[in-house]
Amino acid sequence: MSKIVWITGAGKGIGRSLALRMASEGWVVAASARTVADLETLVSESGGGRVHAFPLDITDVEANGLVLGEIERKLGPVDLAVLNAGTHRPMSAADFDIGTVRGLVETNLMGTVNGLGALLPLFRSRKQGRIAVVSSVAGYRGLPTSAAYGATKAALINLCEALKPELDRDGVSLSLINPGFVETPLTDENEFPMPFLVTSEAAADSIYKGLMAEKFEIVFPWKFAIVMKLLRLLPNRLLFALTSRMVT
């Protein structure tokens, strides 16, 4: 029998490409996003009836549980959930805005927490299932204009590292996905050079292979990952010497 994957943020970018990739590999895909039109075109593009639309605003606490229940009633028990939905807004010190920070926290952090809140009791009771949380290499160290976005991604990294030992004990697998720059509608708005930029299809390929290999951290592209991991090891004096050059 085909396995079932629930992917949030499946309307565009990485989530959409991953939904198409997993459907092509024989998975039954429950695709969630806020924009119904995006889900409709995804279902049409996928063909074969393997992608099913389940609209969801991840910031709605109760809706996460309701959608998960609907997926399981219509398709069967979820084997894998990829909590991918998120957004990005640059913010410098000059335009520091509480509303921007709050919005990113509600979507990137609490939106993922809402999904976990629905999934964890179910998976722990079954003593099986895999959850993948999409964070970012931007969560490794603080970078200019990324104070709000990076903070949410750093929180997700910490959250997954904290949960993993207990979930291992409970029979639930957890993966942390840390992409670098990926071609998506969000990165199309960036006005700065994006090193080692990869397509959403390449990102989906890296994610799928990492999930099938049951890795905890799935990070790509590897050249950019090495650079960002080295930044984690730098003393603050050297880090700020580098990042100060990024301030315009």
Per-residue DSSP letter, 16: H
CB 93 within 8 A of CB 42: no
Is 208 one of the catalytic residues?
no
Q: Which of 6, 27, 149, 220 is catalytic?
A: 149
Distance CA 175, CA 173 (A): 7
| Three-state DSSP class for residue 217 | strand
The phi and psi torsions of 44 (rounded to 5 degrees) equal -65, -45
3-state SS track over 120-154: HHHHHHHCCCEEEEECCHHHCCCCCCEHHHHHHHH
What burial letters (b/e) apply to 137-148, b meaning 16+ CB within 10 Å? Answer: bbbbbebbbbbb
CB 51 within 8 A of CB 43: yes
**Which residues are CB-contacts of 169 (< 8 A; sequence separation ≥ 6)?**
none
Distance CA 198, CA 183 (A): 6
CB 54 within 8 A of CB 30: yes
CB 75 within 8 A of CB 30: yes
What burial letters (b/e) apply to 48-83, b meaning 16+ CB within 10 Å? Answer: eebbbbbbbebeeeebbbebbeebeeebeebbbbbb
Residues serving a catalytic function are: 149
